[in-house]
Amino acid sequence: MADQPTKRKLWGGRFTGKTDPLMHAFNQSLKYDQRMHPADIKGSIAYAKSLALVGILSKEEETRIIEGLQAVGKEWESGTFKIQEDDEDIHTANERRLSELIGPLGGKLHTGRSRNDQVATDMRLWLLDEAKEIEKDLKALIRVLVERAENEKDYILPGYTHLQRGQPIRWSHLLLSYAFSLRNDLDRLRQLIPRISVLPLGSGALAGNPFVVDREFLAKELGFLSVAENSLWGVADRDFIAEFLMWSSLVMTHMSKIAEDLIIYSTAEFGFITLSDAYSTGSSMMPQKKNPDSLELLRGKSGRLFGNMAGFLMTLKGLPSTYNKDLQEDKEPLFDTVDNLSACLKIAEGVIATLSVHGDKMKAALTMDVLATDLADYLVRKGIPFRDTHHVSGRAVALAEARQCQINQLSFEDFKSLHKDFSEDVFKVFDFEASVERREAIGGTSRKMVDRQISVLRAELEK
């Protein structure tokens, strides 16, 4: 092993006094940013290559530094990396360990590079990798919704507005409505990737790199789609984090909405679905309880992720240009959001894949008044303006309520008394299957349109 370098902070030349231990702990981010160690090693290897290209490092020095960085990376992977008291963050920890392994040559790696452009690069690399995994989880959730919709087209239930029965719909149609919200989330995530995939490395502390490293080479080496064209912006920009947090908040808003529906439908009052035991819990007092805790946690996590976004935006809003230490506050909300969002997507997939559907309960919830619009449409087809037919249908509902019967139990004479154009075929209106099948325009709940929606979503998943 090379001689141990003198212990000193990377920035310590200007300072003669010791750092307050409380300040050191307050300033340190290694306890949470160490998870970026693969990104930091990857970025440093690429930077070593760029220094060799401009003659700062010889070929032999480049090789020694890269081999040293790879050894540091293996220590992290094996769990043998020993954190030292003076390690402030993942960047200083890795550089300290590199110098322990290869000696003073390790100090050359930081030539022209600042922790300002280094951390911005690490964050983007790390988030790009995480976004790939989140995309897989999101697609898996959409896929399970599509598969259930494919297999459960026969179930018809009331569709609700204002939590009041509106019109009959297919259960598949409801599932696919969730899938389309998530499909748009998938599209938005894909649109966000180019704005994450921008290389800050080579921006230096704020003014740019004085050794004219080839930043396009760095971008290619690290897999970035573009290069930060302005160094001041490159080191300070955290819009990609804010945007990812906003995106995550919207995903969780959709997840919360799905969870709320399923919580309601799983109650004894509805009984449309039953959650699997794997995603339910019991009561410590009431033995009969089966609580939808998985769904309630999905609903609750949405508030947490929204809070991460709101808090970080408050951090950003008052900052002057370029790098400020406030930006260290970007990591914990981002890490927390990624961890919780990933878990929520997996839990939601499991909940939906394993729940049981009770078509008989859905059918029992269908009352004939949900066909009141169909009754109005019956007269429209006879040439009567809808505003008139709406009124006639409403009077039929009121008459049935007064008689304490279903609307289809009114007599033909009753219907004729409401409007002269009713014929005896009016009773064909009162068929739930026929009602959903009449919705054959694009976006409707007919079997044909449900099949179309499934095809659209499957095509999206293949992209």
Calculate the alpha carbon distances from 251 to 146, 244, 384, 451 in Å: 18, 10, 44, 25
Q: 279, 350 in Cβ contact below 8 A?
A: yes
pLDDT digits (tens, 9 = 90+) for 292-303: 999 999 999 999
Which is nearest to 127 in space by CA: 244, 41, 250? 244
Q: 430, 367 in Cβ contact below 8 A?
A: no
Which is nearest to 295 in space by CA: 270, 328, 327, 263? 263
What is the chain's alpha carbon radius of gyration, rounded to the nearest angstrom? 31
Which is nearest to 207 in space by CA: 190, 177, 232? 232
Q: Whole-angstrom Cα distance, residue 192 to residue 195?
A: 5
Q: What is the mean pLDDT of the chain?
A: 94
Q: Across residues 197-218, what is the average pLDDT?
A: 97
Q: Whole-angstrom Cα distance, residue 87 to residue 82?
A: 10
Sequence-separated (6 or more) residues with CB below 8 Å from residue 70: 41, 45
Model confidence at 388, pLDDT cuts 50, 70, 90, reads very high
pLDDT digits (tens, 9 = 90+) for 89-132: 999 999 999 999 999 999 999 999 999 999 999 999 999 999 99
22-31, 132-141, 384-393: lowest mean pLDDT where? 22-31
Model confidence at 283, pLDDT cuts 50, 70, 90, reads confident
The residue annotated as part of the active site, out of 58, 226, 276, 283, is 283
**pLDDT for the residue 1:** 41
Q: Across residues 300-317, what is the average pLDDT?
A: 97
Calculate the alpha carbon distances from 443 to 446, 448, 451 in Å: 9, 10, 10
Asked whether the predicted pLDDT for residue 160 surpasses 60, the reply is yes
**pLDDT for the residue 385:** 95
pTM: 0.91
Q: Across residues 143-156, what is the average pLDDT?
A: 98
Is the pLDDT higher at 140 or at 27? Answer: 140
pLDDT digits (tens, 9 = 90+) for 257-276: 999 999 999 999 999 999 99
Q: Whole-angstrom Cα distance, residue 330 to residue 338?
A: 12
Q: Whole-angstrom Cα distance, residue 37 to residue 30?
A: 10
Q: Whole-angstrom Cα distance, residue 208 to residue 113?
A: 9
How much of the chain, in percent, has pLDDT values that exceed 90? Answer: 89
Asked whether the predicted pLDDT for residue 66 surpasses 80, the reply is yes
Q: Whole-angstrom Cα distance, residue 125 to residue 40?
A: 9
pLDDT digits (tens, 9 = 90+) for 330-381: 999 999 999 999 999 999 999 999 999 999 999 999 999 999 999 999 999 9
Q: Across residues 200-225, what is the average pLDDT?
A: 97
Element spanning 26, H or E = helix 21-27
Model confidence at 4, pLDDT cuts 50, 70, 90, reads very low
Burial class (CB in 10 A: 0-12, 13-18, 19+), 45: buried
pLDDT digits (tens, 9 = 90+) for 401-430: 999 999 999 999 999 999 999 999 999 999
Judge whether 58 counts as a catalytic residue.
Answer: no
Q: Across residues 207-230, what is the average pLDDT?
A: 97
Q: How do the domains of the chain map onto residue ranges?
A: 19-111, 116-211+225-364
Domain 116-211+225-364: which CATH class? mainly alpha
**pLDDT for the residue 460:** 93
**pLDDT for the residue 310:** 97
**pLDDT for the residue 282:** 76
Q: Taking the C-alpha atoms of 175, 181, 182 and 184 in order, what is their torsion angle to the nearest 10 degrees?
A: 140
Handedness of CA 272, 278, 281, 286 (dihedral sign): positive
How much of the chain, in percent, has pLDDT values that exceed 70? Answer: 96
State whether residue 276 is helix, strand or coil: coil
Asked whether the predicted pLDDT for residue 317 surpasses 70, the reply is yes
Model confidence at 13, pLDDT cuts 50, 70, 90, reads low
Asked whether the predicted pLDDT for residue 457 surpasses 50, the reply is yes
**pLDDT for the residue 17:** 60
Architecture of domain 19-111: Orthogonal Bundle (1.10)
pLDDT digits (tens, 9 = 90+) for 36-53: 999 999 999 999 999 999
Give me 435's structure tokens.
Answer: 């009602």
Judge whether 173 counts as a catalytic residue.
Answer: no
Report the first-to-last Cα separation within the chain, whole angstroms.
Answer: 50
